[in-house]
């Protein structure tokens, strides 16, 4: 069978359509042998290969063959059954990945937001147990500054010109970031106004409470759950919001060698396991 042919499989009553080349990713597997007719346990019936196995679990196997990465739902728990299916199809590389279940299971990620409101300014600091999440938030949160002479409005008949300039967030470490919004006066008696925008929302907000609300909404949409709220410092009235979510840990992906002398040999390497919602 040519690798450009379309193959239809009936696995446990569920129908799958794919390219022959997808099933031939690992030439030593039973799926590849099925196509060249050397594995007689798979029967061709009415133009479909019938496989008496679990169709739901096969959907993950087929996705793995298409992408060479293992992609499982966050609440997935049938690792042993999926490993048994990988063994049945003699997909040894996939079975080896699944044997390292501790790498694949989701882990609890914690995040804390501290909010301080001082007169016309608000300060926000985010701590996270996962540095990649903090890095992602740092790329989505943008702080802008707007400066004008403090006395300019009173001395001139026209208001001073304004310009918004993005400024970098403070990064005390890989696990936290700091930004602020509101107004204050600089040493040169300039009125400095700070706005905050959080992608994908395009608004530039100056009010600290509004920024906090947008940040909380963003975290909830990203899968976080608000666990608790408390006041950290009674004197400064620092509000603390604690969040958590289940995050899939780093796992393993497959790289198939393109060397003709070692065709079909798979090498295992670390990669970020994708998450399905």
Checking if the pLDDT of 232 tops 70, the result is: yes
Q: What pLDDT does 76 receive?
A: 82
Q: How far apart are CA 135 and CA 128, in angstroms?
A: 10
Percentage of the chain lying above the pLDDT 70 cut:
79
Rounded to the nearest integer, the mean pLDDT of the chain is 84
Residue 235 pLDDT class (50, 70, 90 cuts): confident
* pLDDT at res. 198: 97
User: Hunting for tokens 């804390």 — which residue is that?
Assistant: 112
Question: What pTM value is reported for the model?
Answer: 0.60
pLDDT in tens, 40-71: 788 888 899 999 999 999 999 999 999 988 88
pLDDT per residue over 124-171, tens digit each? 999 999 999 999 999 999 999 986 644 544 555 555 556 788 999 999
**pLDDT value at residue 272:** 43
Residues 129/110, Cβ–Cβ less than 8 Å: yes
Pairing of strands 106-118, 176-185: unpaired
The strand pair at 275-276 and 72-73 is best described as: parallel
What string of DSSP letters covers 202-267? ---B--HHHHHHHHHHHHHHTT-EEEEEEEEETTTTEEEEEEEEEEEPPEEEEEE---GGGTT-EE
173's CB contacts (< 8 A; 6+ apart) are: none
Whether the Cβ atoms of residue 147 and residue 183 lie closer than 8 Å to each other: no
Of all residues in the chain, the percent with pLDDT exceeding 90 is: 57
Q: Which domains, and CATH codes, for the chain?
A: 6-104 (3.30.710.10), 108-147+170-247 (3.30.1410.10)
pLDDT at 37: 83
HSE-CB for 211 with a 13 A CA cutoff: 28
Q: Of the ranges 127-136, 170-179, 182-191, 217-226, which one carries the lowest mean pLDDT score?
A: 182-191
Q: Of 59, 78, 71, nearest to 13 (Cα)?
A: 59
Write down the pLDDT at residue 189. Answer: 72
- What was the pLDDT predicted at 84? 95
Question: CA 8, CA 44: separation in Å to the nearest integer?
Answer: 10
pLDDT at residue number 74? 72
Task: Return the H-helix or E-strand segment holding 162.
Answer: none
């Amino acid at each position: 069978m040519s690798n450009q042919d379309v193959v239809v499989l009936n696995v446990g009553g569920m129908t799958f359509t794919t390219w022959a080349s997808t099933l031939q990713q690992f030439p030593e597997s039973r799926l590849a042998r099925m196509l060249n007719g050397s594995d007689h346990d798979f029967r061709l019936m009415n133009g479909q290969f019938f496989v008496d196995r679990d169709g739901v679990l096969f959907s993950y196997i087929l996705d793995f063959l298409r992408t060479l990465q293992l992609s499982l739902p966050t609440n997935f728990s049938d690792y042993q059954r999926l490993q048994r299916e990988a063994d049945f199809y003699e997909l040894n590389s996939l079975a080896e990945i699944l044997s390292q279940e501790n790498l694949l299971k989701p882990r609890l990620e914690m995040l804390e937001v501290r909010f301080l409101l001082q007169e016309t300014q608000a300060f926000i600091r985010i701590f996270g147990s996962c540095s990649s999440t903090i890095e992602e938030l740092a790329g989505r949160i943008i702080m802008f500054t707007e400066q004008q002479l403090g006395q300019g409005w009173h001395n001139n008949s026209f208001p001073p010109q304004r310009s918004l300039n993005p400024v970098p967030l403070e990064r005390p470490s890989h696990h936290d970031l700091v930004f602020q919004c509101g107004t204050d006066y600089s040493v040169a008696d300039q009125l400095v106004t700070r706005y905050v925008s959080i992608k994908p929302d395009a608004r530039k907000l100056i009010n600290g409470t509004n920024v906090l609300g947008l940040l909380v909404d963003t975290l909830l949409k990203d899968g976080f759950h608000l666990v608790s709220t408390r006041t950290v410092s009674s004197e400064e009235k620092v509000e603390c919001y604690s969040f958590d979510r289940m995050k899939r840990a780093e796992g393993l992906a497959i790289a198939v060698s393109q060397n003709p002398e070692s065709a079909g040999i798979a090498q295992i390497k670390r990669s970020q396991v994708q998450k399905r919602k």
